[in-house]
Chain A
Amino acid sequence: MMAPTVLEDEAFAALRAQLLGAAADLAPDAKHLADLLAGLSDDVARVLQEPLQIFPVAHHSPACAVQLVRRLQRTAPKVIFIEACEDLQALLPELASCVPPVAMQAFAGESPAFPPRWLPLSLVMPMTPFSAEYQAICYGLANPDVELVFVDRSSDHVFQWLPQQEATPTAPGGPSDDDENARLHGGALGVELGSLVPTFPVFLESLLEHSRASTFSEWWSVYVDEPTIGADYNTWRQVMVLVGALIRRLGSRAELVESDRLRERFMWTRMKDHLVAKGIQPKDAMYICGAAHAASDVPEWGTTKLGQPDDPRWNIPARTVTPWQYGFIPSSYSAIERQFGLARGSISVAEQSWEKALKALNLKAMPLPKAAKAAKGEVVEGAETEAPKPKTKTKKAAAPLPEEIASVGGASGVLSRPPSLQAEDHEQLLQWCTGVVAKARENHYMASTADAIAIYQTSLLLARMRGRLHPSPFDFADAAETCLDKGDPTMRRSVRHLCGMIMGGDRVGKVGYTTLPPLVRDVYDRLATVGVIPGKSTVTRALMDLRKEGPRLLPVSDLLWRLRALLPSSDAVRPVMGERRLGVPRVQESWDIKLHGPALRDLIELAYEGVTIEQVLERRLRDKAFAPNATAATVLGLAEDALLYAERDRLSEELGERAVELLRLELSAANARELFERVRRLVHHLRARPEGLPHWLGDFVATGYQHYASLLPQSFADRGTSPEQLAGMLAFVFSLESLALSLGCQRSQVIIAVRQAAPLTTDPGKLGLLWAAEWTLELKRGDEVRAEFNALMDNPMSLSALPGALGSLLLALSFTPLVSALAAELLSRAFMELPESLLLPWLPGLLDSLRPVAGTILPALMREVVQSTPRSLRELDAWTPPWEAPRPAAATATAPKSTKKADERSPEERATNALLRAAPASVEAWAAALGLAPGWAAPPAEGGEEAQSDDAEAPIGDDPNTAAIQSLLTAYPVPVSAWAARLGS
């Protein structure tokens, strides 16, 4: 049957007359409004007259899907153009093994063409079964003679056309961020077919106010979708073009209209190219596009000049060199709602509407061709899935198509007659009312049959008040909330959530095994050992006894640890028990493995980087190591990861060499502590291996030793280098010194550096470190260090520097145990002697600075304190701090300097010494003559020569008088020799 032409269509003529009449009435007063109305009418006429069949749709609109199914049952176009990114078309054959909602994804981990802060680039186009595009795709896949062509700009163009200054082109978080399923798309940028949400706020506000709807989704459902779902094709098309034109002209922000124009030029150029190339007549083609794009004003629009030389075509800009990867990821209703800012639950409402319409109109959704059987048989999810089967029983008598009724009045009458599926609506409302009460009861709400009655009554009253002939799902949800919600904050699920549940709730799609990328399939195959099955939507707990079943389970454990390293923030794999550290044997492990939902998306995104986990891991490690912002510490960490997870010496060697290279270039010691910790760990681990220390690590230690030794003077003087960093440098130098020296380094480099540093060090916070370094290098003795501290403590003017110096002495414990006794002593004295005004402000800072190195220094300090304090209460009374007790002679006798001097004394000197001791009075007199205080040491002990000599050495080191006399005698050897001769020795 020939369809009437546009101008013959009475329904459209009536609408046009109404619009033009209004325009004429308004023309004198409101010219813009008059122009708008006339323009809307012209838009509809233009679209309807176009030979190429423009099929205007809105996103996830069941009415559009129903109309498409009905249309395709009647006429079969040769080609169906779809407003979708052209580069996603290659994914279409894979759709057969997926269960919607799923999203087509374009992903690029790196790109030289876009701002680095945008990376990785991710774009998703989700699909639901009740959308026109999904039905068209199913139809196209099932009918090979019908060509499907995606004609919208490519994913690359989507990002090209974004303002470059935009921070990150990701979707904003919606109200359902707490919901895991709502996060299925991650941070991807969403594109959708038939986006029709007004972006001009004033328009949207006005639209909602006048329609008494709370959200645009509600407005769309109540005023467009429901009234047109059973309407005839022409009426529905007129309404869609009209609404699309209105939103385009009035409801969109100017910059977005401009962006839409670019897309329209793109699409029309692509379509025309295709028609000409394939020799297809425009009337044999269908163009499924968003209603707002239907009546475009771009020069490329229309096929009237197709094939003529003056047919305008756009010179489509080239794509960038970005390497794009494509795949399917699971999607969900809540993720779609979040991505596109739709009201929560609106997709479920659309699904209900779709199922209701299929049943009422006795339609069948377009079936997807069966997917090729996957290799894994039973694990193929969705392989046997066709498009969701309508619940319609074929035996049931077909309901009369309401087309004839609906066509009366055309577009202008759509809102002035009862909904075509009124009986079904009523039945549905009753089901909802009883269903929500039952669900509420399950969820511990106080709900009864009386509530079901009240909800029904309230729904009707609300609908009437809002000027609706029948309660919409949104009216029902309002009514249910009014009657059931008693403001109890302890309820786990809100009444609105329950309403969403009885309307089908959130649905999560599945990506079939065969559609999954090789990496994901490989992961599934390798994890099959521990019971991980593709398509399973529960968490698998893997308990692994690696001692008993090592050969079977160790590869699984390796894979899980690698996954964990690659997806640290994902829930994909989570260790419950077990650890992976260098040198620590694995005994038992327990894992939670969850490869569905957002975790599966994470894994699929990983698959865009390689075909196996190992390849991706290696690539990531190498990429990070050679990134411009890499530091020696981070790369050393990566080398450690390479040893730990990749277990490849070649890779760790490459990364280690990179770390050495970076260390040489570093100008500061900011990461000294971290570097030291890592190197020490690696040295301990690798030295124990049969093959010994790898060359790169030795190189790193030697380079680090020299590097830090040369930085020492500058770091002691530089206020920008903190004591903690300095301690890290010294820890590196002194702790790894033996290894460094064995590799050809020279200690003299450090000695010179410390000597140079001494006069430059003015910061009290570094004095302790300097003195400790000097002590370690034997440039200072312990007594001298103690004397330095005493000087600080005894002088009120320098007392304020003591906390800093003492704090840094404590830091020195991380590289030398020499200072532990002195540190314990000084700390005790500081707590005892420092005034509170100095002590109290110092303590918090001290604790803060020690916290990061507590594990290293506290054990040594505590050991020292334990040794020097009484063990029991009884001992306390008689206890004297070790530093206050008179020191045993033996202690001082062992001082290296004294010992050396004692050894060097000649027999003459010893004899003189004994003589002087025998005549103390003369010595006292000399001392007085020299201006020294009398203070002769104790008489020599009884015993042999050795004991005598030991005793004789005792005062040398400490008694200033003796030292002075000693030097006097050494300076005048002649009298000494004369005395010796007289003594006959």
Chain B
Amino acid sequence: MSDTSTSEVLRLPAETRYAEELAFLAAFDAGPRPSSWRLTPRMVRTFVLGSTPQDKMPRDIPQKWFGPASIVERAIVTLASDRGLLLIGDPGTGKSWLAELLSAAVCSNSTYVVQGTAGTTEDQIKYSWNVAMVIAAGQSKDSMIPSPIMTAMQRGEMGRFEELTRCTSDVQDALISILSEKYISIPELRDDNTVFARPGFNLIATANSRDRGVNDLSSALKRRFNFVQIPIVQSRAAEKKIVLFRVKDLLARAGFEIDVPPSLLDVLLRTFEDLRQASAASNTDDGRLESSLSTAEQIGVLEDAVLHSRFFGDAVVRPELVAASVVGTLVRRIPEDVSVMNRFWHSVVDKHASKEKGDWVGFLEGGKEALKQLG
């Protein structure tokens, strides 16, 4: 970790943010742990999913990732096994957040991350060279720049690979030997030319299920990963928890708190639910929004509305503002998305407003106004 003061950091990694909790959990359960893990698997689960009275802990551990417990359990046992973990899911389902939490809990370091892109090269996965030093002193361990994954191997910690399927197949296949033999050879060096992974090393990769078929994993690489599918949140109650948790978290960065009326939150959740249904029912691309309508989008909408009310309003989140934020966030293609939203607003939202009144009325008007401005 760099020595930057935590107060100056925009977003702290999970291990720093929850350092105190992690220390507590490490001390609480002194049971056997796999290789160099900081916590026992059960405490890793507790860290991610929160504590229950059954755990009989002297303090409460809040839930940090919301989803089926069996997914987290499967992810944890995979990390304890010989195979890498690949989290697959739609955008906004919390894959990266889960990966970060797991890394933080297992080895107190979630920053050994390689971001997969179409331009990622094998060097970024294994190692590269400091050209100036190579010219000056030749190739040596000193002039080598290890990748985050190599560093994780050397330290026996968790490496992370974001958006694995964005990389081309040949780059992906660089991981085969890392996951299989657990070492990286450095043929440029004469001596000491192999970096072996220390116990505790494993890899958490994430992949977007919408990218399926773009750069499919080779069979050899698939065999070295356990796939864990992260589902879209179906329960409104769970989604509500997630939205509130994340918005609170995001607003804490801005240094203030605002209460979102529960009824308004219900309106937002219901709107997204209805939008998803409408999207599923449509049989043309023009008939559905470009947005994936994920939980992350809802968080974005609410954050936008809260910030707007804080800086340009009276610090009260009003339905009109949320509606404008929904429209502003979800309309990406003009005029296709405007048409979809216009139809949705005048059929579904209008029906809710006439039937249920309450916040729906302001929400309806706010949305119409926002759509007018777009038009």
**Residue of A454, A465, A486 touching B81 (CB-CB under 8 A):** A454
Query: In this complex, what residue of A is CB-closest to B54?
Result: A210
Query: In this complex, what residue of B is CB-closest to A461?
Result: B77
For residue B70, CB closer than 8 A to chain A, the reply is: yes
Proximity string of chain B (192-214) to chain A, C-beta cutoff 8 Å, 1 when within and 0 when not: 00000000000000000100100
For residue A487, CB closer than 8 A to chain B, the reply is: yes
For residue A522, CB closer than 8 A to chain B, the reply is: no
For residue A209, CB closer than 8 A to chain B, the reply is: yes
For residue B53, CB closer than 8 A to chain A, the reply is: yes
Query: In this complex, what residue of A is CB-closest to B229?
Result: A487
For residue B41, CB closer than 8 A to chain A, the reply is: yes
Determine if B70 and A478 form an interchain contact, defined as CB atoms under 8 angstroms apart.
yes
Determine if B88 and A487 form an interchain contact, defined as CB atoms under 8 angstroms apart.
yes
Q: Indicate whether A486 sits within 8 Å of B74 (C-beta atoms), given known contacts A454-B83, A461-B41, A465-B45.
A: no
For residue B222, CB closer than 8 A to chain A, the reply is: yes
Q: Indicate whether A214 sits within 8 Å of B219 (C-beta atoms), given known contacts A465-B77, A485-B227.
A: no
Q: Indicate whether A483 sits within 8 Å of B226 (C-beta atoms), given known contacts A210-B52, A461-B81, A462-B73.
A: yes
Query: In this complex, what residue of B is CB-closest to A460?
Result: B77
Determine if B45 and A487 form an interchain contact, defined as CB atoms under 8 angstroms apart.
no
Q: Interface centre among B74, B77, B80, B226, by most A CB within 10 Å?
A: B77
Interface size bucket, A side? 20 to 34
Q: For residue B82, which residues in chain A have a CB less than 8 angstroms away from its CB?
A: 454
Proximity string of chain B (45-62) to chain A, C-beta cutoff 8 Å, 1 when within and 0 when not: 100000011100000000
Determine if A465 and B76 form an interchain contact, defined as CB atoms under 8 angstroms apart.
yes
Query: In this complex, what residue of A is CB-closest to B89?
Result: A487
For residue B223, CB closer than 8 A to chain A, the reply is: yes
Determine if B226 and A482 form an interchain contact, defined as CB atoms under 8 angstroms apart.
yes
For residue B264, CB closer than 8 A to chain A, the reply is: no
Query: In this complex, what residue of B is CB-closest to A481?
Result: B74
Determine if B70 and A214 form an interchain contact, defined as CB atoms under 8 angstroms apart.
yes
Q: For residue B88, which residues in chain A have a CB less than 8 angstroms away from its CB?
A: 487
Q: Interface centre among B78, B88, B225, by most A CB within 10 Å?
A: B78
State A641–B225 Cα separation when bound (angstroms): 63
State A487–B222 Cα separation when bound (angstroms): 10
Cβ < 8 Å to B, chain A residues 455-499: 457-458, 461-462, 464-467, 478-479, 481-483, 485-487, 489
Determine if B68 and A214 form an interchain contact, defined as CB atoms under 8 angstroms apart.
yes
**Residue of B52, B76, B83 touching A209 (CB-CB under 8 A):** B52
State A103–B140 Cα separation when bound (angstroms): 77
Number of A-B contacts (CB under 8 A): 67
Determine if B223 and A446 form an interchain contact, defined as CB atoms under 8 angstroms apart.
yes
State A467–B54 Cα separation when bound (angstroms): 11
Proximity string of chain A (186-211) to chain B, C-beta cutoff 8 Å, 1 when within and 0 when not: 00000000000000000000000110
State A457–B222 Cα separation when bound (angstroms): 19
Query: In this complex, what residue of B is CB-closest to A447?
Result: B223
For residue B118, CB closer than 8 A to chain A, the reply is: no
Query: In this complex, what residue of B is CB-closest to A464?
Result: B41
Q: Indicate whether A210 sits within 8 Å of B53 (C-beta atoms), given known contacts A446-B219, A465-B42.
A: yes
Q: Indicate whether A458 sits within 8 Å of B52 (C-beta atoms), given known contacts A446-B219, A486-B222.
A: no
For residue B23, CB closer than 8 A to chain A, the reply is: no
Q: For residue A210, which residues in chain B have a CB less than 8 angstroms away from its CB?
A: 52-54
Q: For residue A214, which residues in chain B have a CB less than 8 angstroms away from its CB?
A: 68-70
State A209–B237 Cα separation when bound (angstroms): 15
State A38–B97 Cα separation when bound (angstroms): 45
Q: For residue B219, which residues in chain A have a CB less than 8 angstroms away from its CB?
A: 446
For residue A212, CB closer than 8 A to chain B, the reply is: yes
For residue B228, CB closer than 8 A to chain A, the reply is: yes
Proximity string of chain B (286-313) to chain A, C-beta cutoff 8 Å, 1 when within and 0 when not: 0000000000000000000000000000
State A481–B228 Cα separation when bound (angstroms): 8
Q: For residue A454, which residues in chain B have a CB less than 8 angstroms away from its CB?
A: 81-83, 226
Determine if A486 and B54 form an interchain contact, defined as CB atoms under 8 angstroms apart.
no
Distance (Å) between the CB of A832 and the closest chain B CB?
A: 37
Distance (Å) between the CB of B50 and the closest chain A CB?
A: 10
Q: For residue B42, which residues in chain A have a CB less than 8 angstroms away from its CB?
A: 465, 467
Query: In this complex, what residue of A is CB-closest to B69?
Result: A212
Majority secondary structure, B binding face:
helix
Distance (Å) between the CB of A461 and the closest chain B CB?
A: 4
Q: Indicate whether A478 sits within 8 Å of B74 (C-beta atoms), given known contacts A465-B45, A483-B226, A485-B229.
A: yes
Query: In this complex, what residue of B is CB-closest to A457?
Result: B81
Determine if B212 and A487 form an interchain contact, defined as CB atoms under 8 angstroms apart.
yes
State A481–B73 Cα separation when bound (angstroms): 12
Query: In this complex, what residue of A is CB-closest to B220?
Result: A446
Q: Indicate whether A482 sits within 8 Å of B52 (C-beta atoms), given known contacts A446-B222, A487-B209.
A: no
Q: For residue A448, which residues in chain B have a CB less than 8 angstroms away from its CB?
A: 223
**Residue of B41, B54, B222, B226 touching A465 (CB-CB under 8 A):** B41
Distance (Å) between the CB of B249 and the closest chain A CB?
A: 23
State A467–B41 Cα separation when bound (angstroms): 11
State A464–B31 Cα separation when bound (angstroms): 12
Distance (Å) between the CB of A951 and the closest chain B CB?
A: 69
State A489–B88 Cα separation when bound (angstroms): 13
Distance (Å) between the CB of B2 and the closest chain A CB?
A: 34
Q: For residue B209, which residues in chain A have a CB less than 8 angstroms away from its CB?
A: 487
Q: For residue B70, which residues in chain A have a CB less than 8 angstroms away from its CB?
A: 214, 478
State A454–B84 Cα separation when bound (angstroms): 12
State A446–B226 Cα separation when bound (angstroms): 12
Q: Indicate whether A462 sits within 8 Å of B77 (C-beta atoms), given known contacts A210-B53, A454-B83.
A: yes
State A457–B41 Cα separation when bound (angstroms): 14
State A462–B222 Cα separation when bound (angstroms): 22
**Residue of B52, B68, B74 touching A462 (CB-CB under 8 A):** B74
Determine if B73 and A466 form an interchain contact, defined as CB atoms under 8 angstroms apart.
yes
Q: For residue A481, which residues in chain B have a CB less than 8 angstroms away from its CB?
A: 74
State A446–B69 Cα separation when bound (angstroms): 27
Q: For residue A479, which residues in chain B have a CB less than 8 angstroms away from its CB?
A: 74, 77
State A458–B73 Cα separation when bound (angstroms): 10
Distance (Å) between the CB of B33 and the closest chain A CB?
A: 12
State A747–B55 Cα separation when bound (angstroms): 94
State A705–B70 Cα separation when bound (angstroms): 73
State A486–B217 Cα separation when bound (angstroms): 10
Q: For residue B222, which residues in chain A have a CB less than 8 angstroms away from its CB?
A: 446, 486
Query: In this complex, what residue of A is CB-closest to B44?
Result: A465
Distance (Å) between the CB of A888 and the closest chain B CB?
A: 58
State A465–B71 Cα separation when bound (angstroms): 12
Proximity string of chain A (209-242) to chain B, C-beta cutoff 8 Å, 1 when within and 0 when not: 1101010000000000000000000000000000
Query: In this complex, what residue of A is CB-closest to B45?
Result: A465
Proximity string of chain A (852-863) to chain B, C-beta cutoff 8 Å, 1 when within and 0 when not: 000000000000
Determine if A465 and B227 form an interchain contact, defined as CB atoms under 8 angstroms apart.
no
Query: In this complex, what residue of B is CB-closest to A205?
Result: B237
Q: For residue A450, which residues in chain B have a CB less than 8 angstroms away from its CB?
A: 223
State A478–B71 Cα separation when bound (angstroms): 9
Q: Indicate whether A478 sits within 8 Å of B73 (C-beta atoms), given known contacts A465-B45, A487-B212.
A: yes
Determine if B73 and A465 form an interchain contact, defined as CB atoms under 8 angstroms apart.
yes
Q: For residue A461, which residues in chain B have a CB less than 8 angstroms away from its CB?
A: 41, 77, 80-81
State A380–B19 Cα separation when bound (angstroms): 71
State A489–B229 Cα separation when bound (angstroms): 12
Proximity string of chain B (34-48) to chain A, C-beta cutoff 8 Å, 1 when within and 0 when not: 000000011001000
State A411–B229 Cα separation when bound (angstroms): 39
Q: For residue B77, which residues in chain A have a CB less than 8 angstroms away from its CB?
A: 458, 461-462, 465, 479, 482
Q: Interface centre among A450, A481, A487, by most B CB within 10 Å?
A: A487
Query: In this complex, what residue of A is CB-closest to B207?
Result: A487
Listed by A's residue number, 19 A-B pairs whose Cβ atoms lie within 8 Å are: A210-B53, A212-B73, A214-B68, A446-B222, A450-B223, A457-B81, A461-B80, A461-B81, A464-B41, A465-B42, A465-B73, A466-B73, A467-B42, A478-B70, A479-B74, A482-B74, A482-B77, A482-B227, A482-B228
Q: Which 10 A-B residue pairings sit nearest by Cβ, starting from the closest?
A: A461-B77, A482-B74, A486-B222, A210-B54, A482-B226, A487-B227, A465-B41, A486-B227, A458-B77, A487-B88
Known pairs A209-B52, A479-B77; list 5 more (Cβ under 8 Å).
Answer: A462-B77, A464-B41, A465-B45, A485-B227, A486-B227
Binding site for B on A (CB under 8 A): 209-210, 212, 214, 446, 448, 450, 454, 457-458, 461-462, 464-467, 478-479, 481-483, 485-487, 489
